[in-house]
Structure 1
Amino acid sequence: MNYDFSSLSPTDFERLASDLVGREIGLRLETFPAGPDDAMDGRHVSADGTVVLQAKHYARSGFSKLKSKMSAERASIELLDPKRYILVTSVALTPGNKSALALAIGPALKTPGDILGADDLNALLRKYQDIEVAHQGLWAHSTGVLESVITGAVAKAITQVGSVPPALARLLPPAASVGEETQPASPKAERDVIFLIKSSPVDDEFTLWLAPKLEAEGYRVFADILTLQPGDRWRREINLALQYRAAKVLLISREITLADPHVQEDIDIALEMARELKDGRFIIPLRLGPARKVKGIGDAVAVDFVRGWGDGLTSLLAALQRQKVPRKLDDAIIDPNWETFRRRGAVPLVREPERLRSNWLRIVEAPDVIRFFESSGATDQRFLEKAIAGFAYPSAPLGSGILSFADQAEIDAAFQSVGRFRLKHEIPLLEFIEKGSSKLEVERQVASNLIVTMFKRAWYSFCRARGLVEYEYSNGTGFHASAALAATGQRIPWGRQGERRSSALRNSAKKHIWEYGVTALPSFWPFWHFKLKSRVLFSVDNGTPAGVAIDDKKKLHRLRRSICSGWRNKQWYGRMLAFLELLSPDSAYIRLELSAAQSILLEASPILFSSPVSTALPDVLDPDDEETDLSTLGRPERSEEELEG
């Protein structure tokens, strides 16, 4: 198998390079912890000179970035004055690439043959297969190596007593035993288990989330994840447990899951059991994405987890209760193996504080009171609502009166054609949001919703005045950088106090123009703020600055999944800060007008939080590399089936 080494962190790649090169040249190379490397990741010191190894994990950055980096490090390399300098990189290199790198590195490199690219590393891995097996991060998704390692482990374990995993052994028919032909199960075996039919590893995350929650409700749950996936040796035992103990079968339904042959085998057994038990609801599909119909259960109503896992769980629990699936509420036990398995893939914590960026803009100023203006005569409610909608400042109809932050003079001027209104109440805004108003007979939640709506309208007016592109999404209004504010491919500078960077808000990818934008959501808990939700809008690139708008919402969804799938957190956050620079270039605040004299004041920089610990996640690309990485400009076209999957 040829690896692209993308699964390795920079540190893991350095260790792999050191092991392979050390074996090839017959020397033991010292390795060093993460940190400044002084142009050296591995070293062998002897009386006749020093052999220096440097590893550059630049598969995502590409050859040009690697060449620039090596040119910048030439002086450091020459200071080392090594007897032999060896460069190892995850970039695929041509002979011309190696010659160019040799010129960039200088005289410390004795021969271009001491530059090893991705193809050279794969050749060494084929030569030294024990090193391939020793680096688990490399072959985590390699079926060949994985089967070899697991099959060897299972072959060793199968000769030992009790080799069936305990989580599975408890579910097997009473007469079944390891190493013997399985006898028919006792007819008294209780059907009290919910079986999850899933594919590994794509469904592991959902399974590890769902299973403990079902067990907390008193159900007994089984999924093959508890067997630790030892090849196919346990398929017969799993099938027996499914045949004799399953009360219900939950089938994770999405295209990639249903394509797994083991899933198809389990479905066939479950369909056979459904006929034998005469239970038309024996299999309950859990819809996690688009999927083809499965013969035998094509008309079964699926529990929808697409809209939200929490909502899906609520519907599933109701269905299990209606269908009287056995459970023990008084003796609910959550199998610790779920948590054990989850921790294996967890990101390790580092006891170092970390500053975390948010997408919240703090509200630092707001009006003291909200005013209610009472009608002093008969008014037409339709005319009143129309006049409020056309008023320059956010207001709301309340009965036959008006709720607003405006003063008496502004109300008189704006609504004189509708009727006469006089100031009746001035209510402290904080009190109105937290308690409502008994005078106006408005409950707390209604009062809070009214203010949220008025704050949103103030945001809409602010964005429209700045010429942003408005688009109505199913769950909110988004405003996007227009062609007049940001040209296609233009980088908008952002950041202060030495952190100056830049990000694109509009660019062309795969014959489409994408435009970054946000939806702003006011909130009063745990403190007053606006939460920004990132949006991306697309148009057809026809050579004009704005392109041709796309009305097909399904096509827009497919484009987001395709073009934006490679954007990382740095890119999303950089675009949000660049967007805020468009809104407030010369001020640290954003002012949203509620009337001629009243406004909300937002901090133009998102709130920063501090965490007492951080994570040991690799940071492969430099901040500015995020904007030139291929995933920013659009990955290769995917088929319609992949986009729908």
Structure 2
Amino acid sequence: MRDTIFISHATPEDNEFTIWLASRLELLGYKVWIDKKELLGGETFWETIESAIKINATKFLLVYSKHICYPNSTEIKAGIQKEIDFARSVMADDNLNDFFIILHMDDTGYDLFPGSRDLNQIAFSENWAEGLTVLQKKLIRDNVVKANFHDMDEAATWYLNNYIVKNPIVEKKELYYTNWWSVKSLPTSFFILRFTNEKQASTVASLNDGCLLVQDSNCITTFNKDLKVDIKDNFGTTQIKPVDIFEIKIGDLILGYEKESFPSHRDAENHLKKLFKRSLHSYFKSKKMFWYDMSNKNLAYYHTYSSLPTSKVKFDFPYRADVKSKTKNLIGKHLDVGKWHFAVSAKTALAPFVGFHLKSHIIFSKSGYQAIENKDIQHSHRRKKGKLMFNEEWRDLLLAFMKSIENSDGNIILSTSTETDIIMKPSVETFWSDFGYIDPKDWKRQELFVQPDRDDMDEEPELE
């Protein structure tokens, strides 16, 4: 049964890509054959290769680069030429459609050997992940069977155990930074004011324009129940009073309770999350920050030269008194597009800590202010800029961002329009681990891990 994807490549020049591809295909569920003995410096007998191609292979993939030729020559290396010729004969003898697929790795011409132009060619030269996406669609369209779990070659496991030796997980005490930003203190209660209809709620909301509140249909959620409700006109003063005022203790909400009538536990959670998000939006707005509407309708906040004239922020690492302060740019030049901005979006959560889940982004603008509206341009350049940014870089940018939004006294205080504001912790939560990971420094190794971008969906509505 033909159930194996055979990969032919130049050793050792294209080993890195070949092992990456084999591991990714196997993680997708396919059975893969690569010459592991040759990779480790051993000898693979031709009978083994011949059998794999003639009997087992459902696809023959050729890693097509300048390395399949002898140095400074257009002559194909003997071993690779032998595999090419044999694969083409098998394809012809067994009448196999689209059996031979070329994975084009660089700017090498399309005619290194006779007939190569007539074969399927998939571009991997710009981005490995994008090439893999095209290849995966081809395998699905051609109904290439996936392997039973016990039949898999475990190329991914072999790759991790035998090949990635530059950046292993090692035993060392290391401080990890999460994306969790917790509340230090907050009011004990919030209120849901329910009015007769939506128009009444809208009118009261407009009367309290400077107060922290969120309107949802005929309800207003706020920390301050004493809202302005008086409407004055030529005939006197009219009051728009709520028909119900629900006080919800935040501690009880976090512990959980059962209630069938409005507001249920789920209702109260959603109202509080929206109120928290509004308070953060108001804080960023007070800092003269800009925001960009992500494809999932969440907002990503970023500095411009109005809120951060120098574009630089100096910050310190916690628990590292012996280390000098570090400086990071949160705005910078990017190719011919204009400027890049480090941005943060936030999702409110109440457990296991009350606070926000933060997500880091890169936003692009022409002049350092208004973000480019074209989503395709944003996506394309986010990939180009972000694909070589690993854990250390993202960590430092986030720490610099947190430092940049502090008040002059070093605090981050979200107004509640009451005597008790929301005081945030100065930075994200951290934890210690007995194991660590060394970030890749070589861009070729970093390219292994490039994955298509996607924005996590957020059910919370956008803020205007």
TM-score tier (shorter): 0.5 to 0.7
**Bigger proportion of residues as helix:** 1
Q: Distance in 2 between matches of 1:562 and 1:513?
A: 13
CA distance in 1, matches of 2:431, 2:67: 46
Number of the residue aligned with 1:462? 283
Aligned position for 2:396: 574
The aligned residue for residue 19 of structure 2 is 204
Amino acid at match of 2:229: D
Q: 2 CA distance for matches of 1:519 and 1:274?
A: 52
Could you tell me how far apart the structure 1 residues matched to 2:31 and 2:361 are? 41
The answer to whether the 8 Å contact 1:411/1:421 transfers is no
CA offsets, 1:89-136, max 9 Å, x none?
xxxxxxxxxxxxxxxxxxxxxxxxxxxxxxxxxxxxxxxxxxxxxxxx
Maintained 8 Å contact 1:371/1:423 = no
* Secondary structure of 2:305 counterpart: coil
The structure with higher relative contact order (CA 8 Å, sep 6+) is 2
Report the secondary structure of 2:314's partner residue. strand
TM-aligned CA deviation for residue 515 of structure 1: 3.0
Alpha-carbon distance between aligned partners in 2 of 1:442 and 1:226, rounded to the nearest angstrom? 63
* Deviations 1:122-151 (CA, angstroms, capped at 9, x unpaired): xxxxxxxxxxxxxxxxxxxxxxxxxxxxxx
Cα distance change of structure 1 residues 560 and 210 upon mapping to structure 2, 3 Å threshold:
same
Alignment pair present for 1:408 and 2:233? no
**For residue 348 of structure 2, what is the aligned residue in structure 1?**
522
Are the structure 2 counterparts of residues 619 and 557 from structure 1 closer, same or farther at C-alpha, using a change threshold of 3 Å?
closer
1:285–1:535 distance in 2 versus 1, CA, 3 Å: farther
Q: Does residue 242 of structure 1 match 2:60?
A: no
Q: Cα distance, 1:465 vs. partner? A: 0.9
Higher strand share: 2
Q: Is the 8 A contact 1:204 1:225 kept in 2?
A: no
Give how far 1:393 is off: 2.3
The alignment-based identity, stated in percent, is 19
- Give the Cα–Cα distance (whole angstroms) in 1 for the partners of residues 421 and 301 of structure 2: 20
Structure 1 residues 386 and 424: alpha-carbon distance in aligned structure 2, compared to 1, 3 A threshold: closer
SS of 2:418 mapped into structure 1:
coil
Residue 468 of structure 1 and its aligned partner are, at CA, apart by 0.9
Unaligned runs of 5+ in 2: 69-79, 104-109, 111-116, 123-127, 232-236, 444-464
Q: Contact 2:175/2:431 (CA < 8 Å) preserved in 1?
A: yes
For residues 501-580 of structure 1, the aligned pairs below 5 Å read: 501-508=326-333, 510=335, 512-540=338-366, 546=368, 550-562=372-384, 569-580=391-402
- AA of the residue aligned to 1:609: F
**Would the aligned equivalents of 2:364 and 2:371 in 1 still touch at CA under 8 Å?**
yes
Change beyond 3 A, Cα 1:348–1:568? closer
TM superposition shift of 1:227 = 5.6
1:565: how far off? 5.6
Bigger drift between 221-230 and 570-579 goes to 221-230
C-alpha separation in 2, matches of 1:278 and 1:562: 42
Q: Does residue 1:393 correspond to 2:393, yes or no?
A: no
Letter in 1 for 2:219: I
Q: Could you give the per-residue CA deviations for residues 144-196 of structure 1, whole angstroms, max 9, x where no partner exists?
A: xxxxxxxxxxxxxxxxxxxxxxxxxxxxxxxxxxxxxxxxxxxxxx3344557
CA distance in 1, matches of 2:273, 2:176: 27
TM-aligned CA deviation for residue 517 of structure 1? 2.8
1:500 to 325, 333, 348: 325
Shift of 1:278: 8.0
In the alignment, the residues of structure 1 paired with residue 64 and residue 268 of structure 2 have an alpha-carbon distance, to the nearest angstrom, of 48
Paired residues for 1:337-486 under 5 Å: 338-343=156-161, 344-346=163-165, 347-376=167-196, 378-380=197-199, 392-397=211-216, 401-402=218-219, 404-410=221-227, 412=229, 420-429=241-250, 432=253, 437-440=259-262, 442=264, 444=266, 448-475=269-296, 476-486=298-308
CA distance in 2, matches of 1:242, 1:419: 81
Which deviations, in whole Å up to 9, do the C-alpha atoms of 1:617-639 show, x marking residues without a partner? 7999xxxxxxxxxx9xxxxxxxx
Match of 1:11 in 2: none
The letter of the residue matching 1:340 is W
Instruction: Give the secondary structure class of the aligned counterpart of 2:339.
Output: strand
Q: Is the 8 A contact 2:290 2:370 kept in 1?
A: no
Q: Give me the whole-angstrom Cα distance separating, in 2, the residues matched to 1:465 and 1:605.
A: 19
1:146-161 paired onto structure 2 within 5 Å? none
Query: Normalising to structure 2: TM-score of the pair?
Result: 0.63
Q: Deviations over 1:344-372 (max 9, x none)?
A: 31434554322233343222234434433
1:394/1:454 contact within 8 Å kept: yes
The CA distance in 2 between the partners of 1:417 and 1:206, in whole Å, is: 72
- Is the 8 Å Cα contact of residues 384 and 418 (structure 1) preserved in structure 2? no
Question: Take 1:422 and 1:605, find their aligned partners in 2: how far apart are those partners?
Answer: 41
Aligned partners of 1:529, 1:364: CA distance in 2, in Å?
9
Q: How many equivalent pairs are there?
A: 395
CA gap 1:236/1:551 in 2 versus in 1, 3 angstroms: farther
CA shift, 1:236, in A, is: 7.9
Task: Please say if residues 204 and 228 of structure 2, whose CA atoms lie closer than 8 Å, have aligned partners that are also in contact.
Answer: no
Residue 461 (structure 1) shift: 1.1
Secondary structure at the aligned position of 1:474 is classed as coil
Match of 1:491 among 312, 328, 336: 312
Counterparts of 2:201 and 2:97, CA distance in 1: 53
Contact 1:487 1:506 in 2 (8 A): no
Task: Flag the 1:510–1:231 CA change in 2: closer, same or farther, 3 A.
Answer: farther
Opposite residue 193 of structure 2, the aligned amino acid is: F
Give 1:603 shift.
Answer: 0.7
Counterparts of 2:8 and 2:350, CA distance in 1: 42
**Aligned mates of 2:312, 2:97 — CA distance in 1:** 59
Query: What CA RMSD, in Å, does the superposition of the two structures yield over aligned residues?
Result: 5.4
Asked if 1 retains the 8 angstrom alpha-carbon contact of 2:25 and 2:32, the reply is no
CA distances 1:42-89 after superposition (whole Å, capped 9, x unpaired): xxxxxxxxxxxxxxxxxxxxxxxxxxxxxxxxxxxxxxxxxxxxxxxx
